[in-house]
Amino acid sequence: MQFVKMHGTGNDFVVVDAREQSADWEALARAVCDRHFGVGADGLVLALPTANADLRMRMFNPDGSEAEMCGNGIRCLAKFAVERGIVQPRDRALTVETLAGLLRCEVSGVNGTVQRVRASMGRPRLDPADIPVLAESSGPVLHLPIQIDGGEFDVTCVSMGNPHAVHFTDQPVGEIELELVGPRVEHHPAFPRRVNFEVANVLGRDRLRMRVWERGAGITLACGTGACATAVAARLRGLVGDAVEIELPGGVVRIEWDGQGEVYLSGPAEDVFEGRWLA
């Protein structure tokens, strides 16, 4: 099986043209994502055919679970598909079918290469049942106290097709023991389908700093849907404006949301190496 190792702001993936292939994708994801015995990645991304869009995307976490969406993954997939001739973009854009709906990706670059992708991430879902989260509020859920061993976290809950709980804090996010509190929030009973957990500092009206514990993956250098959810949560709470740059351990992404329509995620996508999986 041929693959390309790619990353978007340090969030890395094994990307496969699976249009004419079949496999036990859950088992394969567990194997190839292993950083000691496999390729090493935060997820396995598949390019698949569809009658509803230019391309269909499936994304599997390192534990084998399938994610509804992945913002950094869809940027890598767009670059992969365009540069390898799988998709011919129209007006420098392509549509991708995901479990979170049909999403549009605008590509930019030079000499036939894609260097940056601006992805439509859909509208944020704020109703507790759509996230899902067990909360008395009818939505949006802006201040939900989550008690775990290690303290209490005030979170704002957002779905970007997958569930997120965002905690804003004055404590530098680098000092938070995310490896300890992350899995406890992920598996908290308030979240029936588990949750991605973000911790964020507000640096200004147009800039945030964020770290993330991803459901099914653990600590990663970046999370596209997490960055979107964090920007949405910050705007809902009056902390930022319509456009914000978010500093992640793996780099910086730009999020745009006018408070009503779709969220847009812009950032780089890069190839790392190509290979062949022999197992």
Q: Is 76 one of the catalytic residues?
A: no
Query: What burial class does residue 217 get, using C-beta atoms within 10 Å of its C-beta: 0-12 exposed, 13-18 middle, 19+ buried?
Result: buried
Through-space distance between the first and last CA atoms of the chain, rounded to whole angstroms: 9
Q: Which of 33, 70, 157, 228 is catalytic?
A: 70
Q: Which of 33, 105, 223, 228 is catalytic?
A: 223
Going from the C-alpha of 47 to that of each of 55, 74, 197, the distances in angstroms are 7, 10, 27
Cβ neighbours for 209, distance < 8 A, ≥ 6 positions apart: 173, 200, 201, 203, 246, 247
Considering only CA atoms, which of 73, 243, 245 is closest in space to residue 162? 73
**Distance, CA of 105 to CA of 191 (rounded, Å):** 30
Q: Is 33 one of the catalytic residues?
A: no
Residue positions annotated with a catalytic role? 70, 223
